[in-house]
Amino acid sequence: MAITLTEAAARHVSRYLARRGQGLGVRLGVKTSGCSGLAYKLEYVDEAAPEDLVFENHGVKVLIDPKSLAYIDGTELDFVREGLNEGFRFNNPNERDRCGCGESFRV
Protein backbone atom coordinates (compact mmCIF):
# COMPACT_ATOMS: atom_id res chain seq x y z
CA MET A 1 0.00 0.00 0.00
CA ALA A 2 1.10 3.60 0.39
CA ILE A 3 0.54 6.92 2.09
CA THR A 4 -1.54 9.39 0.07
CA LEU A 5 -2.46 13.06 0.30
CA THR A 6 -5.65 14.67 -0.86
CA GLU A 7 -5.39 17.67 -3.17
CA ALA A 8 -6.31 19.94 -0.23
CA ALA A 9 -3.48 18.55 1.92
CA ALA A 10 -0.99 18.82 -0.94
CA ARG A 11 -1.99 22.46 -1.59
CA HIS A 12 -1.58 23.32 2.09
CA VAL A 13 1.86 21.67 2.33
CA SER A 14 3.02 23.28 -0.94
CA ARG A 15 1.93 26.75 0.22
CA TYR A 16 3.65 26.31 3.57
CA LEU A 17 6.90 25.10 2.00
CA ALA A 18 6.82 28.05 -0.42
CA ARG A 19 6.41 30.49 2.50
CA ARG A 20 9.31 28.80 4.33
CA GLY A 21 11.45 29.20 1.24
CA GLN A 22 12.78 25.64 1.57
CA GLY A 23 11.71 22.11 2.29
CA LEU A 24 11.55 18.68 0.75
CA GLY A 25 8.10 17.71 2.05
CA VAL A 26 6.54 16.35 5.24
CA ARG A 27 7.50 13.46 7.50
CA LEU A 28 4.60 11.43 8.88
CA GLY A 29 5.14 9.00 11.72
CA VAL A 30 3.78 7.74 15.01
CA LYS A 31 4.95 8.06 18.59
CA THR A 32 3.88 6.40 21.82
CA SER A 33 1.49 8.81 23.52
CA GLY A 34 -1.96 9.47 24.92
CA CYS A 35 -4.76 7.30 26.27
CA SER A 36 -4.91 4.91 23.33
CA GLY A 37 -1.20 4.33 22.89
CA LEU A 38 -0.12 6.01 19.64
CA ALA A 39 -0.23 9.54 18.26
CA TYR A 40 0.52 10.89 14.81
CA LYS A 41 3.50 13.18 14.34
CA LEU A 42 3.85 15.41 11.34
CA GLU A 43 6.76 17.73 10.60
CA TYR A 44 8.16 19.62 7.66
CA VAL A 45 11.55 18.32 6.51
CA ASP A 46 14.41 19.78 4.53
CA GLU A 47 16.23 16.53 3.78
CA ALA A 48 15.49 12.82 3.80
CA ALA A 49 17.11 10.35 6.19
CA PRO A 50 18.73 7.33 4.51
CA GLU A 51 16.07 4.95 5.88
CA ASP A 52 13.05 7.09 4.89
CA LEU A 53 10.43 5.67 2.56
CA VAL A 54 9.23 8.35 0.15
CA PHE A 55 5.74 8.62 -1.32
CA GLU A 56 4.71 11.43 -3.65
CA ASN A 57 1.20 12.72 -4.32
CA HIS A 58 0.14 15.86 -6.20
CA GLY A 59 3.79 16.97 -6.32
CA VAL A 60 4.35 16.70 -2.54
CA LYS A 61 6.70 14.20 -0.92
CA VAL A 62 5.70 12.34 2.24
CA LEU A 63 8.56 10.70 4.10
CA ILE A 64 7.93 7.78 6.45
CA ASP A 65 10.31 6.00 8.78
CA PRO A 66 10.03 2.22 8.25
CA LYS A 67 9.00 1.54 11.89
CA SER A 68 5.93 3.78 11.56
CA LEU A 69 4.76 2.31 8.25
CA ALA A 70 3.23 -0.77 9.89
CA TYR A 71 0.82 1.50 11.82
CA ILE A 72 -0.01 3.98 9.07
CA ASP A 73 0.19 2.03 5.81
CA GLY A 74 -2.78 2.99 3.65
CA THR A 75 -3.36 6.29 5.45
CA GLU A 76 -4.75 9.25 3.56
CA LEU A 77 -3.67 12.67 4.83
CA ASP A 78 -6.33 15.33 4.32
CA PHE A 79 -6.50 19.02 5.22
CA VAL A 80 -9.93 20.18 6.37
CA ARG A 81 -11.59 23.39 7.48
CA GLU A 82 -14.55 23.14 9.84
CA GLY A 83 -15.88 26.50 10.93
CA LEU A 84 -12.99 28.46 12.40
CA ASN A 85 -10.82 25.37 12.81
CA GLU A 86 -8.51 23.87 10.25
CA GLY A 87 -5.96 21.10 10.32
CA PHE A 88 -4.77 17.78 9.04
CA ARG A 89 -7.02 14.73 9.28
CA PHE A 90 -5.59 11.23 9.20
CA ASN A 91 -7.82 8.66 7.50
CA ASN A 92 -6.09 5.48 8.66
CA PRO A 93 -7.66 2.11 7.75
CA ASN A 94 -5.56 0.42 10.48
CA GLU A 95 -7.04 2.54 13.27
CA ARG A 96 -9.25 0.43 15.55
CA ASP A 97 -9.95 2.91 18.31
CA ARG A 98 -9.41 6.58 19.08
CA CYS A 99 -9.38 8.25 22.47
CA GLY A 100 -12.16 10.68 23.38
CA CYS A 101 -9.94 13.73 23.00
CA GLY A 102 -8.91 12.62 19.50
CA GLU A 103 -5.19 12.94 20.19
CA SER A 104 -4.25 9.26 20.16
CA PHE A 105 -5.28 6.01 18.51
CA ARG A 106 -4.86 2.25 18.65
CA VAL A 107 -4.34 -0.27 15.85
Please report the pLDDT score of residue 39 as a whole number.
Answer: 87
Please report the pLDDT score of residue 58 as a whole number.
Answer: 94
Q: Which residues of 79-107 are buried (b: 16+ CB within 10 A; e: fewer)?
A: beeeeeeeebebebeebeebeeeeebbee
pLDDT band at 28 (very low <50, low <70, confident <90, very high): very high
For residue range 33-83, list pLDDT tens digits in order: 766 688 889 999 999 999 999 999 999 999 999 999 988 999 999 999 988
Q: What is the mean pLDDT of residues 74-103?
A: 83
**Domains of the chain and any CATH numbers:** 4-106 (2.60.300.12)
Helix (H, G, I), strand (E, B) or coil at 77: strand
Please report the pLDDT score of residue 57 as a whole number.
Answer: 93
Give the bridge partners for 18, in sequence order: none
